[in-house]
Structure 1
Amino acid sequence: MRTLIRNGTVVNSTGTVAADVLVDGETIVAVTAPGVFTEADRIVDASGKYVLPGGIDAHTHMEMPFGGTVSADSFETGTKAAAWGGTTTIVDFAVQQKGTLLQSTLDKWHEKADGNCAIDYGFHMIVSDVNDTTLKEMDACVEAGVNSFKMFMAYPGALYSTDGEILRAMRKATESGSTIMMHAENGIAIDELVAVALAEGRTEPVQHGITRPPELEGEATHRAIQLAKVTGAPLYIVHLSARHALEAVAEARDAGQNVFAETCPQYLYLSIEDLAKPEFEGAKYVASPPLRPKDHQADLWKGLRTNDLSVVSTDHCPFCFKDQKELGRDDFSKIPNGMPGVEHRMDLLHQGVVAGELTLARWVEVSSTTPARMFGMYPRKGVIAPGSDADIVVYDPAAKQTLSAETHHMNVDYSAYEGMEITGRVSTVLSRGEIVVDGGEFHGRAGHGRFLRRDLCQYLS
């Protein structure tokens, strides 16, 4: 099957050009001046539209156990929703439980995902039990195409690792060239603040944000950077939300250290005011790190422009308001942490283009090209170029839409952006040459997506 996408504006991280794109089977075979090719089995008219490399969401949590429940999107529903929003690859997290092996954890996540994903997928590994066996298994994970390992400075008693354990894992990562990903919040101090709040009868959702102040994210980020400096390990800070943490990352990058960071759309658009909504509505916005005061948003947008923030992912971890978020109605510390977002990341970042916060090229860079390079998928993914997978999004920059739970495709009963009016919308999505979304209809299928064995980060110096 040969597909010709014609009359569009191709947008790569290097800039824009009026060009046609020819796809043969699963692969892009030509990017040409308009009109060079005129025939194909299938023609997609992209007049007035952008032609982008498919989005890569490098931080999702499908079917993730947390707080006595499980995130609401399965690999099937979550990847279909991602495709609706122009994301054609996700990298999800396999979660090691204390006392278990990394290999059995990876096997379990393959069982969940294999045959169920509508788009391509890879895995990071969450390391929560650092011991001699785990450290040896990290090498086996790298051989299996999983070469990024997430650790937590938060959640004592569950996922938390001590500085000593982090140091050991970082030394192992240095040996293999793999990347340590860090949830950087001072969990020990946070737990103390939570205990004080509950003892004083402060139980409402906004306390989640108050007891996780930005200073404790900044402190943990600085500490993680110093541990990485001592060991020489590449470090990737996940879901950075606060200027305090951003300042630490910027300082390390200016010094030439292999430190990278992502932020998420919720930190660019939402704030602690959403956490403070009455009648328990704030529970919809409970995630960690928490939403910050609005004045942090300008710093994050600036960080994206200066490349101190390299990637925008979603941390998609949806829990329904009814029955799941309500577990913490009388105790904010029991509200499952996480928000839905995998379907709207590309659209929300396009609003940054509309508002003048990002260029078109930077939009593509932070949503597709850099994640591909960061996590060893480039040039197979992340670029419109001959030889790359035909993961392509035809995007209408003039279309209007209103975000709502009534129209989204994520398996969750609320939208964090309910009623938000935005400009721009996905028109057509190809995943490895197969049209999965077109004309407001889903044409994909569970099982189309393939597991991606990833190479090492391409940014290490």
Structure 2
Amino acid sequence: MRIVIRGGTVLSSTGAVDADVLVEGERVAALAVPGGLAESWLAGADRVIEAGGRYVLPGGVDAHTHMEMPFGGTESSDTFETGTRAAAWGGTTTIVDFAVQARGESLQSTLDKWRAKADGNCAVDYGFHLIVSDVNDATLKEMDACVAAGVTSFKMFMAYPGAFYVTDGEIVRAMDRAADNGALVMMHAENGIAIDELVARALAEGRADPVQHGLTRPPELEAEAVHRAVTLARVTRAPLYVVHLSSAPALDAVTAARDTGQNVFAETCPQYLYLSLDDLARPGFEGAKYVCSPPLRPVEHQAPLWRGLRTNDLSLVSTDHCPFCFAEQKELGRGDFSRIPNGLPGVEHRMDLIHQGVVAGELSLARWVEVTSTTPARMFGLYPRKGVIAPGADADIVVYDPTARQTLSASTHHMNVDYSVYEGMEITGRVETVLSRGRVVVDRGSYHGSPGHGRFLDRALCQYLN
């Protein structure tokens, strides 16, 4: 299949240039000045996509999703099929999901179990991080084998005692291993021991509404955990990647570490840029729709996060997409906020929402591409196959109309969840056409993808460490 994308403005992490793009099969074959493609190429094209007045950018890489994720006696509502289809609708052409190790389970059997869920079902390409919840000699040895097999990042939790929580000593052991084998350690940084005490106190006092989820997980306990993780990483010489950073004091801890030259990176998520504790405090049980961890923060935390994205103290934007339907799933916590499944939908809207930062003057076009595509590809060993439009790269390409207007709503989104945390939000810009490895999967309001098109990705080491 030969496709020509003609007349658009090609975006990259370094700038913008008017160019035509030639796609041959699954790869980008060439870029040319406007009108510079040979007539024979145009004559032999199976399709010419007219992109005048449009941006042409590399497909998004969402490095933090949770499809079919077990949590709190239920499971996230998007399957790998429905979740990756929604990702494609929103211009994300690669996800990196999490395979969750159960106590007593080997890392290899964990990966096999999650590959069985995803293989043959994904509409876009996918990889895995491994959540390590059982740190022992066998697990540590297996980390080396996982790295050799293309799973090069491992996540641990300082939160959720009794479930995913690992001790500081276990973190040190895993970080020591990562320092030796080159893997990237990812950290959910909240002080889970202290949080559990605050939760128990709130419930004992009869404070059970959804807003208590935010009030019992204050920013100070995120900042403390980030600082502690940074310290353990410094002692072990391991790189550290802080997931879903949500607050100004936590960002301060990351910034201070980076200012000393330490290999510390962090992501944030759209919900922390647009939503706030006020949403958790919505009347009745409506706030349950907004329960995620770390929780939404007071609105004054948003400006520092945008600033962190501009200065690169926040390296990229992921979604932490982990949807639970309001009916039946979020309802499990009615009368006890601690039982509300933690997670929000978002994989479909990340590219659009961060584009609003461009519209508002918070980010440049180049930085938009950098934080949504190029940096995640580099961070997780996928570049230059992903994250760039260049000869030899996978033809993961988005044609984006920067002037279109749309209103976000559960009635029009494609995620398998019965509400939208952005219901009624009017935004500027819309994905028009999406190519995944040279195949048109979304085109002007129509879906042309299919389960099984997406392929598993063996990942190299983080390119910021080599």
Question: TM-score category by the smaller chain?
Answer: over 0.9
Alignment of 1:260-299 (within 5 A): 260-299=265-304
Match of residue 432 from structure 1:
437
Displacement of 1:98 in angstroms is 1.1
Structure 1 residue 307 and structure 2 residue 312: aligned?
Answer: yes
Match of residue 189 from structure 1:
194
Match of residue 17 from structure 2:
17
Displacement of 1:41 in angstroms is 1.5
Displacement of 1:143 in angstroms is 1.4
Give SS of 1:407's match.
coil
Matched letter for residue 21 of structure 2: V
Matched letter for residue 2 of structure 2: R
How far, CA to CA, are the matches of 1:69 and 1:155 in structure 2? Answer: 16
Displacement of 1:439 in angstroms is 1.4
Displacement of 1:155 in angstroms is 0.2
Match of residue 95 from structure 1:
100
Displacement of 1:79 in angstroms is 0.1
Match of residue 241 from structure 2:
236
Structure 1 residue 410 and structure 2 residue 420: aligned?
Answer: no
Give SS of 2:296's match.
coil
Displacement of 1:206 in angstroms is 0.1
Displacement of 1:202 in angstroms is 0.3
Match of residue 32 from structure 2:
32
Alignment of 1:134-173 (within 5 A): 134-173=139-178
% identical aligned pairs: 78
Displacement of 1:140 in angstroms is 1.2
**Aligned mate of 2:264, from 259, 266, 287:** 259
Aligned length: 461
How high is the TM-score relative to the length of structure 2?
0.99
Match of residue 373 from structure 1:
378
How far, CA to CA, are the matches of 2:142 and 2:390 in structure 1? Answer: 36
Give SS of 1:123's match.
strand
How high is the TM-score relative to the length of structure 1?
1.00
Q: Cα RMSD (Å) of the superposition?
A: 0.5
Give SS of 1:28's match.
strand
Displacement of 1:349 in angstroms is 0.3
For structure 2, the 5+ residue unaligned runs are none
1:60-116 Cα deviation digits (max 9, x unpaired): 000000000000000000000000000000000000011111111000000000000
**Aligned mate of 1:42, from 39, 47, 57:** 47
Match of residue 5 from structure 2:
5
How far, CA to CA, are the matches of 1:421 and 1:299 in structure 2? Answer: 23
Match of residue 325 from structure 1:
330
Displacement of 1:324 in angstroms is 0.1
Displacement of 1:164 in angstroms is 0.2
Runs of 4+ in 1 over 3 A off after TM superposition: none
How far, CA to CA, are the matches of 1:242 and 1:36 in structure 2? Answer: 48
How far, CA to CA, are the matches of 1:254 and 1:395 in structure 2? Answer: 36
For structure 1, the 5+ residue unaligned runs are none
Displacement of 1:292 in angstroms is 0.2
Match of residue 226 from structure 1:
231
How far, CA to CA, are the matches of 2:444 and 2:369 in structure 1? Answer: 23
Displacement of 1:144 in angstroms is 1.4
